[in-house]
Amino acid sequence: MGAQFGQLGGNPTRPKEFDYQNDNGFRVAPQISPKQQSGKVCMAVPSAPYSPNFASNIYSVRESHISFVPPGTYSLPFPHGFTNPPLIQQPILPVKIFSKEHKFLSLEFKLKKYILKDQMSAEINPTGVHIFVDMSNIGIGFMDAVKIAQGLPLSQHLKTPISFENLARILERGRNVQKRVLAGSLAFPASKRENWPPHLREAEKLNYEMNIFDRVQVEKKNFRSKRKNRTPPHRSTLYSPNDITSADESTEDGATAKIITKNGEQGVDENLHLNMMHSILDNRDPGTMVLATGDAAQAQFSDGFKQHATRALRAGWKVEVISWSRNMSSAWYDPDFLAEYADKIQIIALDEFIGELDASPIV
């Protein structure tokens, strides 16, 4: 089931409203207050075929998009001094959009504010836009967002497909894209295209350079001191039944290093970091760098996305960081970082596009 984030106006326990049809031919299902019926999901469906200018027609009827609002308070990160706050700051649970056409039109409607900003700041620049997609970060964030939207525990296994076509539309927005790079990993041999999920094959058709790695056994050391009470009891939750544990190694400070090997990815982030540096070094004029990731931490063999983004900013590039709010590192919201590059960096949360990114079959 898809999910969408929308704008919430007024009291979240508004009374039930009966079906009606407005002047734009948009029929709205009844809205049920959380206090009246818990778990009820409403749907927004068209009552007539869409006209070519449907997206612009519904721009003035924002309140027509009625969705179920669950109990509780919700908010997306909105740091002080953030120059590009999202119009929508409260997630709303599932609105079912029935067809690919509906999702496309809904996506175009939501992207209007970003496209307008692109047009206002457009510069004639042969370097154009360079896009780097950390598919692992985006994919995991998408699955977590779907589970939260459906009220499911994060531990539950789901196979909700993601639409890379719509993700690419969010990242590209009709701009002069000169470079498209995607990196990710698979548990099965990545060299065999038949092992690729649909969204990866979709990305390849959209001319993204595909760097798909096999997952490998990655070592992780957890240090446990021989001294009493050095390590809290809850640390034992670090271990998984799927972990392969070797013998303990003693360290010179008296701690015990427990070696754990786990099936994980290696080199994915570093591949993107290398491609980012190629863009900076190979282009005399700076362009716009789009990072589809919320990760800012140091990688195994590199100092991380934020450090590479900072290098790009210092070289005169503009940077967009696009990911899920839950997966967005707080390092991107560092006040000093934002103050220094306020006119060159834009942070976009994917949360409001969750329904459009859900590629589940029509039901």
Confidence of residue 122 (pLDDT cuts 50, 70, 90): confident
Return the percentage of the chain with pLDDT > 70, whole number: 59
pLDDT tens sequence across 316-356:
999 999 999 999 999 999 999 999 999 999 999 999 999 99
**Residues 201-215 pLDDT 10s:** 999 999 999 998 887
Cα separation of 316 and 83, whole Å?
A: 18
* pLDDT of the residue at 59: 33
Q: Residue 101: pLDDT above 60? A: yes
**Considering only 50-54, 243-247, 306-310, 356-360, which range has the smallest mean pLDDT?**
50-54
Name the DSSP letter for residue 156: S
CATH topology of domain 25-215+266-357: Rossmann fold (3.40.50)
State the Cα angle at 238 between 234 and 242, rounded to 5°: 140
Query: What pLDDT is stored for residue 257 in this prediction?
Result: 55
What's the alpha-carbon Rg for the chain, to the nearest Å?
23
**What is the arithmetic mean of pLDDT over 96-105?**
80
- Closest residue by Cα to residue 177 from 127, 227, 134, 143: 127
Token output for 125: 């620049």
Closest to 110 measured CA to CA, from 160, 173, 66: 173
Q: Residue 197 and residue 124: Cα distance in Å, rounded?
A: 37
Pull the structure tokens for residue 10.
Answer: 């007024």
Domain ranges of the chain: 25-215+266-357, 216-264
Mean pLDDT, residues 162-181: 97
Average pLDDT value for residue range 13-28: 42
> Rounded mean pLDDT of the chain?
72
Q: Is the pLDDT of residue 65 over 70?
A: no
Residue 1 has pLDDT above 60, yes or no: no
